[in-house]
Each structure stands twice: as C-alpha cells, then as structure tokens.
Amino acid sequence: MKQKQHGIWLAMLALGFGTSALAQSTAPTQVFFQNIYNTPQPVDVYIDGALVFNDVFSGTSVMYPRAVSPGARTVVVTPWYLPLGQGDLLRTTLTVGGSTSTLKLQNADAPTSEPRLTLSQGQPK
C-alpha cells in the first residue's frame, strides 16, 4: 500500500512540474522598446499588425513594457505619421521569449545608415 501511495505522490508531483513548466513557456514576454536610430521623427512599432509602441523619439526608451506572446513575431517600424504598410522603415521577424526583452532600433554598421532592429533579454540599458 505504501508503494502505491508513493507512486501516486510521484505522479502528482511530476504532473505539477509539467504543468508549471507549460505555464511558464506560454506566459507573455514583457517587451520594452529603445529607439537610438538617427532619425529626426518619432517612430511607431507594430507587432503582428497591432500598434504596440507609438510616437517614440530617437534617443528614448519606452518606460513601460508591453506584453507580447512568445514565439516568432513580425515586427514593423514605421514613421509616426504613416499607416502600416506605407513607407515602412523596417520589417522583420523576431522570436520573442523569456520574461523580459528589449527591442532596440539603431543604425546598421557603416557604411550604410539603414535601420537595424535587435531583440535582447532584459530591460533597456
């Protein structure tokens, strides 16, 4: 009888750990945005077609993160005054994950001045 109870306890413990791990993997990622791209006008950021950050000036970081579901996401950066799909500065796919991440818009390496978007773990630095 003790072995049966022990087996049931182990099964419940394993199920609890499995459920806990599953819940953690589907929890939204808190995403910050940092704009250090050399542009005189603010930008808007869309993730999977939804406006997530708007009117973010160069040299600034958004102080409050937005919850984004983990996984591959289409990220589009546009000038603040143009709708999505009309004059996009950048369109890319990034994989969101972890508890906190920062999207950073910056200039690409020389000799080009094209925008580059990176995603790193943690808050803006």
User: What domains sit in the chain, N to C, each tagged with a CATH number?
Assistant: 27-121 (2.60.40)
CA 33-69-57 angle, 5° bins: 15
Whether the predicted pLDDT of 66 surpasses 70: yes
Predicted structure pTM score? 0.75
Whether the predicted pLDDT of 90 surpasses 80: yes
Question: Which pLDDT score is estimated for 119?
Answer: 83
Residue 22 banded pLDDT, cuts 50, 70, 90: very low
Tokens found for residue 70:
């983990």
Q: Are 97 and 68 in contact (CB under 8 A)?
A: no
Whether the predicted pLDDT of 4 surpasses 60: no
Mean predicted lDDT score pLDDT of the chain: 81
